[in-house]
A and B are shown apart, each in its own frame.
Chain A
Amino acid sequence: MILLFNGSGKPVNSNSEFFLKIVKEQLEEEIKCIHIMPDFDMEQIVIDLEQTDCIVFAMPLYVDGVPAPVLQFMLKLETYMQGKDMSDKYLYAMGNCGFYEGRQNAILIHIMKNWCKKTGMKWGQGIGIGSGEMFGAMREIPLGKGPTKNLKKGLEQFARNIKDRKSADEIYVEPNMVSQGMFLMVANKFWDMQAKKNGVKKKALSHKMIRE
């Protein structure tokens, strides 16, 4: 059984959930997906851990690293795993960020690698998805079309390694056809639209809490 942990702060419709779904579709075995919540059921997770040889974490990049609730969860798991033989389990980790560059998830992946070493699991692979928010907004486009070509390729490669329980180098994904400059324009427009939706004026986005 493959155990998928979704570390998004959003309860539903998160980008992490979207990317996990793509990976899930490639896997042909029993999968259990768990959303990391502050009040998780540790007893059930212990049962699941005993039945799995493959763990996948997916999460958004928060302040250049792993979101706080995911760290908390990892500490709890480490306590449980201490003194137990975990060497039959592979760990895979997926980070996605709003920034253009997939590589900005590299530190998040390193944190997951350090945790993996502490717990005695085998490191599988990390994937860092850049422009995560943009990809999330394009979820209606058939995967592999237009700017999502690299995304499809990266996630399928990641899924293949999960399937084969293979260790491989990290994958970093950026949209094709969209340059960094184009990204900047489109993404900043996105914030203006979000503000408008909330009845916030464009100028108010730059509001300062102190006078300077």
Chain B
Amino acid sequence: MKLIIHDLKEEQLENFYLAGDDDKIVSKENKIHKCIGCFGCWVKTPGQCVIKDEFQKMGEWIASADQVVIISRCVYGSYSPFVKNVLDRSISYIHPYFTKRNGEVHHKSRYHRQQNFEIIFYGEQISFEEKETAMALTKANAVNFNTTGITVKFCDMEGVTI
């Protein structure tokens, strides 16, 4: 099963990614609440968010996925607010404990199982700086989510690689 997180309209998705029948799709279809920085997903109900909406089990969904696919509008070199919100609500996937990784402090993994992340950014005029920022952001995410690796590509609004 692939976990596909995207901020597109339902009918646009196929221009960017061909989802399989058993893939799980996380989209704007459901209203999302913001992360309130309470750390409840680490110290109250470890492994799941305390906010009761459709995004409560993001950590579990990432853990069960064979691959995570993220399709997001590139906003100032970041993900779009919706996709970022989904990721902000996904930190139950990792462990609160800190550990040293590549000489820096990062969070420990909650799960042994690791995923590969495929990230597709799209936008009208993504600047060179925004691309650089997006590359740095996804690289940092790859370390913090303890992925097996990431691939990143940039597309126009129709899903054509640029």
Chain A residues engaging chain B, CB cutoff 8 angstroms = 8-10, 14, 38, 60, 62-69, 71-72, 74-75, 99-101, 104, 106-107, 110-115, 117-118, 180, 183-184, 187-188, 191, 194-195, 197-198, 200, 204-210, 212
Contacts and interface: CB of A to CB of B under 8 A. Distances in A.
B151 interface: no
User: Chain A binding site: helix, strand, loop or mixed by DSSP?
Assistant: helix
A12 B85 CA distance: 21
Interface of B: 34-39, 42-44, 46-48, 57, 59-60, 63-64, 75-82, 84-85, 87-88, 90-92, 95-100, 104-106, 110-113, 127, 129-130, 132-133, 136-137, 140-141, 144
Contact of A184 (B64, B76, B99, B132): B99
Given A71-B75, A208-B111, A62 B136 contact: no
B113 A198 contact: no
Contact of B133 (A63, A111, A205, A209): A111
26 contacts: A9-B35, A10-B37, A62-B84, A63-B88, A63-B141, A64-B141, A66-B76, A75-B75, A101-B105, A111-B137, A112-B76, A114-B76, A114-B127, A117-B129, A118-B76, A180-B105, A183-B98, A183-B105, A187-B98, A188-B97, A194-B43, A205-B46, A206-B46, A208-B110, A209-B57, A209-B59
A114 B77 contact: yes
A28 B93 CA distance: 44
Given A111-B78, A194-B43, A205-B46, A210 B111 contact: yes
